[in-house]
Amino acid sequence: MAKKRVHEVAKELNMESKELLKKLADLGIEAKCNFSTLSEEEIAKVKAALENKEKGTEEEPGLVDKVPSRPPDRRLIERPAAFEKKLAPKLPSPAPAPEPPKPAPEKKVLIPPKPPTEKPPEGERPPREKRPPRPPEGKRPPRPERAPDKGPRPLGEKRPFKAPSLPSPPPPAEKPKERKPEKKMKGKPVDHLIPQWEEEGEKLKSKLVLRRPKEKEAAKEALPEKTGPRVIQIGETVTIKELAEKMQRRAAELIKKLMDMGMLVTINQEIDADTATILAHEFGCEVEVKPAFDVEALLAEEPETDPSKLKPRPPIVTVMGHVDHGKTTLLDAIRETRVAATEAGGITQHIGAYQVEKDGRKITFIDTPGHEAFTAMRARGAKVTDIAVLVVAADDGVKPQTVEAINHARAAGVPIIVAINKMDKPEANPDRVKTQLAELGLVPEEWGGDTIMQPISALKRQGIDELLEMILLVADMLELKANPERPARGTIIESRLDRGRGPVATVIVQNGTLKVGDTLVAGTQFARVRAMIDDRGRKLSQAGPSTPVEVLGFSEVPEAGETFVVVEERLAKQIVEKRLAKKQAEEAQARAKMLLEDVYQRIKEGQIKELPLVVKADVQGSLEAICRALSQLRTEEVGVNIIHAGVGAITETDIMLASASGAIIIGFNVRPDVNARKALEKEKVDVRLYQVIYDAIKDVKAALSGLLEPEYREVLLGRAEVRKTFHVSRLGTIAGCYVQEGKVTRDAQVRVIRDGVVIHTGKVSSLKRFKDDVKEVSQGFECGLMIENFNDIKEGDELEFFVMEAVQRTLD
Ligand SMILES: Nc1nc2c(ncn2[C@@H]2O[C@H](COP(=O)(O)OP(=O)(O)OP(=O)(O)O)[C@@H](O)[C@H]2O)c(=O)[nH]1
């Protein structure tokens, strides 16, 4: 629903904002200041009220002359109907004003665009000589009467400035002849505007006389510029700068015009298409609004229309599994056996992914083992992996992370191939692994299921070829295809800032072919591909589907997991700009939200050490009494701070003050007035109304006890055993623990117990499960943790985790 600010409405109504605010208050419409917004209904209401008032004056003869001397606002005269339409798009349409004899079909923009030479930018007054003859002074035609059953006045419609006790307008039929300029306007009918122009002509008189020299000057200045384009194209939004460029105008002119219309904008500010249309019309330009430029929709992958262009592409594989089950060893084994065997030369590079060949077919492996990378990518909506290889150590069986990996792969709809590793170990028990997996729904083929399970020894490089064969087999079933002729799109696998080369990203092309010189966007970054290097350190000029390559040419380091799309350079910049603007807006919104929550939270958590109060009472005597009593409630720890006290009803100002200061309002024998009640709908303010002073004191006392600094008691969370310690030179000692009881949380305090003696009490400074930071780890799981300012941790130490919990106290 279109809303308008008070000052805008005031301008439309040709009255001071102050006046309007007063009027609004009279009508019980809540508006605090010039910038308060008014709904359509509210505007309609105030207009209706003003109109009624005016009608009253119309009956008084002679009032015309007493109309305030303030000159009418000429903007109102020429404000195109599009503006009004924009302001009141959903209002019940008022009964139509009497149509001139030549009714014109409803146009989107009622005021025709004026040729640029018609008027100076400063004053939108149409040249006098081109205006229709005006009736003699005092015989101005009346404003067209609204039908008796009129609904609310449409927003933006001018409030009649003078009583329409004037003769009827000259027959409109004569007018088109005299209004030649309008003929230039692409045949737009303008007849219906004539009464309006006539009416306003009179009002303009004094202003014109007064301002003529200045306007002439302005007109002279502006004349040479009046050759801007007649029709411009814009999107759903446009910045002032862009619009000015399109209109071949100075941005300052546009800003000034908008200021006149009651809108304050900056050069880089976006305005919507409606506002831009109105603005452009003011300068004699027509606007064509192009359909929404939805960047993301534009970037969405279109399905291939020509199946003949689809070519088989290598599968992209991720290796997952429980810690120490051999993921890294397997990835190394594959790389060494296949890369070294098939390609001579080239030093293998760890770029985050690599390709191997098997029977002349390529397989792409994502070189970062574990499901963190996998899930991080999925979280960003990137689906890179075609097949997941689940490594399960034959001697260890299914472990918690094995289950997690299965769940992740399933959630992503990625087929799983199981590699039963460490088959070389004497204690290897593949059947136990199969049984455990079958219980999880992964039934081996030989048992009648459809999960391929390949026994391997990553360490001994055994079963690797067979595993690759299985991967190709599954890939065949998946019929992985892509169109190499398309512009590339894919995913950023890894990214970093290289000292010599700048931002470097490893990407996997998923469709199309990426070429040196291409422009691509990835999130809010864009790159002009300067160079591409493959996993063997070779420079490539192009990379087809499923190829992992390092890309140089990013302006900044893009985020891993982000998808990229090759687009035209111009579009790339636009996309990045749009995305950045969206991101900034989201961040700003999040910040604003957080601040609000912060304040609320601070009050709730009792971080504020005094209770701010606003006290209102019916008479001075009670006010003094209640304030005195409340002030006496001050204790050592918590006090009452009466930030405002007054006699009379609780007003909107009281609410705003209380809201801003987190205060509670105490009302004694008074109630909130209309505006205050409205404000209360929006502001979270606690208003307490009393008729007995004692009750007020009692409640405040209770509130104060909530604010008292609480006492704390220890709550035991859990216990863990240190099983291994690692020393990391820059970080300190990391304790590899097993949670035996309860849980460990990141914000917990910890007691280190060695041989039954507490040797340290401190805080957990870091808590990880595998490589991920976690908030808590439960009983039966392993975790890595560090203790703040304490590195003397040893294997076998016992850790006790606890938190201090607040116990609320009360005042006596
Ligand atoms: N005997 C034997 N040991 C293996 C085999 N594969 C891996 N290992 C050993 O198991 C240990 C863990 O192997 P990694 O490859 O580091 O295991 P991972 O799953 O990558 O471990 P994280 O990276 O810590 O998750 C290493 O000591 C390997 O040498 C295997 O096939 N046989």
Whether ligand 1 lies within 6 angstroms of the CB of 674 is answered as no
DSSP three-state, residue 45? helix
pLDDT tens for 733-781 read 999 999 998 999 998 999 998 887 888 999 999 999 888 888 899 988 9
Percent with pLDDT over 90 in the chain: 25
Q: Is the pLDDT of residue 414 over 50?
A: yes
What one-character-per-residue DSSP string does 336-386 give? Answer: IIIIHHH--S-----SSEEEEEETTEEEEEESS-SHHHHHHHHHTT----S
Q: Which pLDDT score, from 0 to 100, does residue 301 have?
A: 67
Query: pTM here?
Result: 0.46
Whether ligand 1 lies within 6 angstroms of the CB of 329 is answered as yes
Q: Is the pLDDT of residue 674 over 60?
A: yes
Q: How far does residue 608's CA lie from ligand 1's centre (Å)?
A: 55
Reduce the secondary structure of 99-161 to three states and give it as a string.
CCCCCCCCCCCCCCCCCHHHCCCCCCCCCHHHCCCCCCCCCCCCCCCCCCCCCCCCCCCCCCC
C-alpha separations of 589 from 219, 584, 585 in Å? 44, 8, 6
| Cβ atoms 180, 118 nearer than 8 A | no
User: Average pLDDT over the chain, rounded to whole?
Assistant: 74
Phi-psi region of 345 (alpha: psi -120 to 50; beta: other; left: phi over 0): left
Whether ligand 1 lies within 6 angstroms of the CB of 189 is answered as no
Q: Which amino acid is at 348?
A: T
Whether ligand 1 lies within 6 angstroms of the CB of 126 is answered as no
| Cβ atoms 204, 104 nearer than 8 A | no
DSSP three-state, residue 729? coil
For the ranges 99-113, 405-419, 590-604, 786-800, the maximum mean pLDDT occurs at: 786-800
- Determine what percent of the chain falls in helix, strand and coil, rounding each to the nearest 5: 35, 25, 40
Active-site residue, 673 included: no
User: Which one is catalytic: 327, 358, 434, 616?
Assistant: 327
Q: How far does residue 316's CA lie from ligand 1's centre (Å)?
A: 22
The ligand 1 atom at the shortest distance from the C-alpha of residue 421 is 31
Mutate to test the pocket of ligand 1, among 320, 323, 328 (most ligand atoms within 8 A of CB): 328
For the ranges 97-111, 327-341, 712-726, the maximum mean pLDDT occurs at: 712-726
Helices 240-247 and 251-260, axial angle in degrees (round to 10)? 110
Q: Is the pLDDT of residue 517 over 50?
A: yes
- Which pair of structure tokens corresponds to residue 487? 């512009």
Which of 76-90, 347-361, 583-597, 665-679 shows the lowest mean pLDDT across its residues?
Answer: 76-90
Q: Is the pLDDT of residue 95 over 60?
A: no
Rg from Cα positions in the chain = 38
CB count within 10 Å of CB 127 equals 13
Q: Which pLDDT score, from 0 to 100, does residue 121 have?
A: 42
Q: Is the pLDDT of residue 81 over 70?
A: no
Q: Give the torsion through C-alpha atoms of 161, 167, 168, 173, to 10 deg.
A: -110
Active-site residue, 371 included: yes
Q: Is the pLDDT of residue 90 over 50?
A: no
Residue 242: band (very low, low, confident or very high) from pLDDT cuts 50, 70, 90? confident
List phi, psi (to 5°) of 803. Answer: -130, 160
| Cβ atoms 54, 13 nearer than 8 A | no
For the ranges 81-95, 294-308, 465-479, the maximum mean pLDDT occurs at: 465-479
- Which pair of structure tokens corresponds to residue 449? 């299921």
**pLDDT, mean of residues 454-470:** 94
C-alpha separations of 525 from 505, 522, 533 in Å? 11, 5, 20
Q: Which of 180, 168, 176 is nearest to 193 (CA)?
A: 176
Residue 152: band (very low, low, confident or very high) from pLDDT cuts 50, 70, 90? very low
- Which pair of structure tokens corresponds to residue 179? 């209004």
Question: Residue 371, annotated ligand binder?
Answer: yes
| Cβ atoms 280, 286 nearer than 8 A | yes
Whether ligand 1 lies within 6 angstroms of the CB of 332 is answered as no
Whether ligand 1 lies within 6 angstroms of the CB of 425 is answered as yes
Question: Residue 3, annotated ligand binder?
Answer: no
Give me the numbers of helices (H) and strands (E) for the chain, helices first please: 22, 35
Question: Residue 647, annotated ligand binder?
Answer: no
Mutate to test the pocket of ligand 1, among 322, 329, 421 (most ligand atoms within 8 A of CB): 329
DSSP three-state, residue 422? coil
Nearest CA to ligand 1 atom 25: 323
Which of 341-350, 475-484, 533-542 shows the lowest mean pLDDT across its residues?
Answer: 341-350
Nearest CA to ligand 1 atom 30: 422
Beta-strand ranges (E) seen in 187-264 are 231-234, 237-239
Question: Residue 646, annotated ligand binder?
Answer: no
User: Which one is catalytic: 324, 332, 465, 686?
Assistant: 324
| Cβ atoms 624, 647 nearer than 8 A | no
Q: How far does residue 391's CA lie from ligand 1's centre (Å)?
A: 10
List phi, psi (to 5°) of 388. Answer: -110, 130
List phi, psi (to 5°) of 293. Answer: -95, 90
Place of tokens 């249309």: 277
Question: Residue 321, annotated ligand binder?
Answer: yes
| Cβ atoms 315, 388 nearer than 8 A | no
Percent with pLDDT over 70 in the chain: 66
Whether ligand 1 lies within 6 angstroms of the CB of 459 is answered as yes
Question: Residue 322, annotated ligand binder?
Answer: yes
Nearest CA to ligand 1 atom 21: 324
Q: How far does residue 390's CA lie from ligand 1's centre (Å)?
A: 13
Residue 443: band (very low, low, confident or very high) from pLDDT cuts 50, 70, 90? very high
Cα distance between residue 238 and residue 399, in whole Å: 56
C-alpha separations of 469 from 230, 232, 461, 465 in Å? 67, 60, 15, 6
Length of the chain, please?
A: 812
Cα distance between residue 568 and residue 555, in whole Å: 16
Nearest CA to ligand 1 atom 12: 324
Q: How far does residue 393's CA lie from ligand 1's centre (Å)?
A: 9
Q: Is the pLDDT of residue 37 over 90?
A: no
Q: How far does residue 779's CA lie from ligand 1's centre (Å)?
A: 25
| Cβ atoms 109, 281 nearer than 8 A | yes
| ipTM of model | 0.98
Q: Which pLDDT score, from 0 to 100, does residue 146 have?
A: 41
Mutate to test the pocket of ligand 1, among 420, 459, 771, 782 (most ligand atoms within 8 A of CB): 459
Whether ligand 1 lies within 6 angstroms of the CB of 321 is answered as yes
Q: How far does residue 325's CA lie from ligand 1's centre (Å)?
A: 5
Cα distance between residue 191 and residue 185, in whole Å: 13
**Stronger pLDDT, 637 or 284, i.e. the higher one:** 284
Q: Is the pLDDT of residue 451 over 90?
A: yes
For the ranges 150-164, 371-385, 466-480, the maximum mean pLDDT occurs at: 466-480
Q: How far does residue 329's CA lie from ligand 1's centre (Å)?
A: 5
- Which pair of structure tokens corresponds to residue 408? 């992740």
Question: Residue 158, annotated ligand binder?
Answer: no
H-helix or E-strand containing 784?
strand 782-787
Nearest CA to ligand 1 atom 27: 324
User: Which one is catalytic: 37, 57, 117, 328?
Assistant: 328
| Cβ atoms 403, 371 nearer than 8 A | no
**Stronger pLDDT, 136 or 505, i.e. the higher one:** 505
Nearest CA to ligand 1 atom 13: 326
Q: Is the pLDDT of residue 220 over 90?
A: no
Q: How far does residue 533's CA lie from ligand 1's centre (Å)?
A: 29
The ligand 1 atom at the shortest distance from the C-alpha of residue 462 is 31
Whether ligand 1 lies within 6 angstroms of the CB of 325 is answered as yes
User: Which one is catalytic: 85, 203, 246, 371?
Assistant: 371
Residue 705: band (very low, low, confident or very high) from pLDDT cuts 50, 70, 90? low
- From the number of C-beta atoms within 10 Å of its C-beta (0-12, 13-18, 19+), residue 228 rates as middle
Q: Is the pLDDT of residue 184 over 60?
A: no
Q: Is the pLDDT of residue 660 over 90?
A: no
Cα distance between residue 383 and residue 491, in whole Å: 8
Strand order through the sheet with 416-421: 353-358, 361-366, 316-321, 387-393, 416-421, 452-455
DSSP three-state, residue 436? helix
Q: Which pLDDT score, from 0 to 100, does residue 292 have?
A: 58
* Longest alpha-carbon distance in the chain: 115
Q: Which pLDDT score, from 0 to 100, does residue 489 have?
A: 92
Whether ligand 1 lies within 6 angstroms of the CB of 369 is answered as yes
Q: Which of 259, 266, 307, 313 is nearest to 282 (CA)?
A: 259
Residue 425: band (very low, low, confident or very high) from pLDDT cuts 50, 70, 90? very high
**pLDDT, mean of residues 396-424:** 89
The ligand 1 atom at the shortest distance from the C-alpha of residue 329 is 15
**pLDDT, mean of residues 474-479:** 93
**pLDDT, mean of residues 577-585:** 79
Q: Which residues contact 49 (CB under 8 A, 6 or more apart)?
A: 23, 26, 27
